[in-house]
Structure 1
Amino acid sequence: MANMCPYGHFTHAVVRGIPETFGKKAGDSQENGEVSVDLAKAQRQFGCLTGALRQKVGLQLIEIPPDPELPESWKIEDVAVIQGDTALITRPFKEQRQSEVEAVRRVMSELNLTVVEMDGEQGDSVGATLEGSDILFTGREFFVGISSHTNRRGAEVLADTFRDFAVSTVPVCDGARLKNICSMGGPNTIIFSNSDGAKKTLRMMEQLTDHHYDVLTVPEELAANCIYIKGLSKRDFLLHRPADECPDSVSAFQKLQDYTLLPTACSEASKLGASLSSLCLLVNRKHTYF
């Protein structure tokens, strides 16, 4: 297996703006019923997230313009899995979302990453679906959540792409996505929700891995998705849900000593099943190509 640098070293964040069609579902306006969202508030929260990544963490920000024809394209994490110099362009479960990959593919190429296409219509990829919000990379291995949006064939494509790393599949309960119930909180720390489904997934992950991880448990499921980045100044940053959204989890984050904690609101995106990490793709490039 590859011996890579610890998880968390990034130089760029790629994001996609919130379109005016935010809240509508690609292809079927009736899916999941009508969810009441505040577009202006969502755009403000997106601005706070991108501002934190650029100004506080110090990442170079690449922003793809919003596209009203792609109402879910702001969930950019779903359409690529990036490790090292390789970007796997995924195949979202909904056919209507598959055109979201074009702009992301272009940015990955401009960053001089090796772009691997996941074409679900040919060869070993027939029937494969894979979304980044079901993938947890720990710096040592991948865990792929088998959910309503990601299947085992998709996990096999990921394993074939990143052959230097172990890839384990775990079922995700209750229609959730893997990154909704857990995320990285440091090079050796996984943040987990305290829900029964999350505990079940954690037990399975512990059985599948050869590595030891510290587990930081949070009482609110929404708090389990964070963004951990080791900044260019070697400081540890954690973007997490603020006290007004997850009041019971604040004390858990404060256990992370010497971290710079960045409370980041995500209430509007979370109404649509998304989370903080859904809104960005993190890339580690030693050189800038823009």
Structure 2
Amino acid sequence: MFKNVIARRPGTSITEGITSAPELGKPDHQLALRQHQAYCQALESCGVQVTVLPPLEEYPDSCFVEDTAVLTTRCAVITNPGAPSRRGEVDHMVDVIRSFYPADRVEFIRDPGTLEGGDVMMVGDTFYVGLSARTNREGIEQFARILGRNGFKVRAVPLSQVLHLKTGVNYLEGGNLLVSGEFVDHPEFASFNRIVVPPEEAYGANCIWVNGTVIVPQGYPTVEAQVRDLGYRVILVDTSEFRKIDGGLSCLSLRF
């Protein structure tokens, strides 16, 4: 069960965020703010305390706080993002994280290792980590050593077609796993109850489980129906403006 969530409001610079889909257009800042507020309200309705940080105008992608840290029940790991323009974001997160964790429980990924939280999926005491354009092997090895000292296991998952691991695969607890694209038949996930997301709704694979509720992006009816059929309470949240800069539901918060 999660008790806390950290989020950060998008700044006006969100219009300059990194994107692989410029054809979607630039985000509308005011609409992004409204969507972000609805997102935080959805999280609060799941029984967590949400800490909302102020915008960082100098970092257009800084609303995607998930990439800056991995927060576990035993330790916090401050990441080292693979996107150079995002490196400075972590400096603004350290004191925030230390307000929740003892100083000796806060660890760091160091150069030449890179790690972004969007590549990290927690399944009980095992953390699956995407080997991606943003997370390299050295970063995964450092992460594995840190988590190993804390009694966790790490499994690397090479990927080639999506930005982050959780772009295409997300754990809903209870053995249920949303999978899309290159992860549909991935042997690493053969033991899970895999719910296959159709290609035309691939963005909808990025759902988040929060204390028995699953928050689902609005506009993906097949995904919504599949999650409801599993028996979860569902909340729909519109993330259209964040999709324009390669972000989804999980990217917008740290849940712990």
Q: Same fold (TM over 0.5)?
A: yes
Q: Give the counterpart letter for 2:213 in structure 1.
A: F
Structure 1 counterpart of 2:144, from 139, 159, 165: 159
Question: After superposition, what is the alpha-carbon deviation per residue over 1:162-190, rounded to whole angstroms, capped at 9, x for unaligned?
Answer: 10222111111224311000111124221
Q: In 1, distance between residues paired with 2:33 and 2:53?
A: 14
The alpha-carbon deviation at position 246 of structure 1 amounts to 1.1
Measure the CA separation in 2 of the matches of 1:261 and 1:271: 24
- Work out whether residues 148 and 175 of structure 1, in 8 Å CA contact, stay in contact via their aligned partners in 2: no
- Which residue identity does 1:50 align to in structure 2? C
1:12 equivalent to 2:4? Answer yes
The one-letter code of the counterpart of 2:217 is: R
- Distance of 1:137 and 1:144 partners within structure 2: 9
Letter in 2 for 1:116: E
Aligned equivalent of 1:112: 101
Change (3 A) 1:187 1:162: farther
* Separation in structure 2 between the aligned mates of residue 39 and residue 21 of structure 1, nearest angstrom: 8
What does residue 97 of structure 1 align with? 86
TM superposition score normalised by structure 2: 0.91
Which residue number in structure 1 is paired with residue 117 of structure 2? 132
Identify the residue that residue 197 of structure 2 maps to in structure 1. 218
Q: Which structure features the higher share of helix residues?
A: 2
How far apart, in 1, do the equivalents of 2:101 and 2:82 lie?
27
Identity %: 28
Task: Give the structure 2 partner of residue 124 of structure 1.
Answer: none
Counterpart of 2:223 in structure 1 is: 249
* One-letter amino acid of the counterpart of residue 188, structure 2: M
Q: What is the one-letter code of the residue matched to 2:54?
A: P
Distance 1:31 1:181 in 2: 15
Specify every segment of 5 or more residues in structure 1 that has no aligned partner in the other structure, as ranges: 1-8, 121-126, 207-211, 231-235, 284-290
Alignment of 1:265-276 (within 5 A): 265-276=238-249
Look up the SS of the partner of 2:16 in the other structure: coil
CA distance in 1, matches of 2:43, 2:224: 20
- What CA distance in whole angstroms lies between the structure 1 residues aligned with 2:20 and 2:2? 36
CA distance in 1, matches of 2:17, 2:126: 32
> In structure 2, what is the equivalent of residue 229 of structure 1?
210
**CA RMSD in angstroms, aligned pairs only:** 1.9
Mapped to 2, the partners of 1:268 and 1:32 lie a distance apart of 12
Other-structure match for 1:145:
130
Could you say which residue in structure 2 is the equivalent of 1:287? none
Q: Residue in 2 aligned with 1:191?
A: 178
- Are the structure 2 counterparts of residues 32 and 199 from structure 1 closer, same or farther at C-alpha, using a change threshold of 3 Å? closer
Aligned residues: 249
Q: What 5-or-longer segments of structure 2 have no aligned partner?
A: none
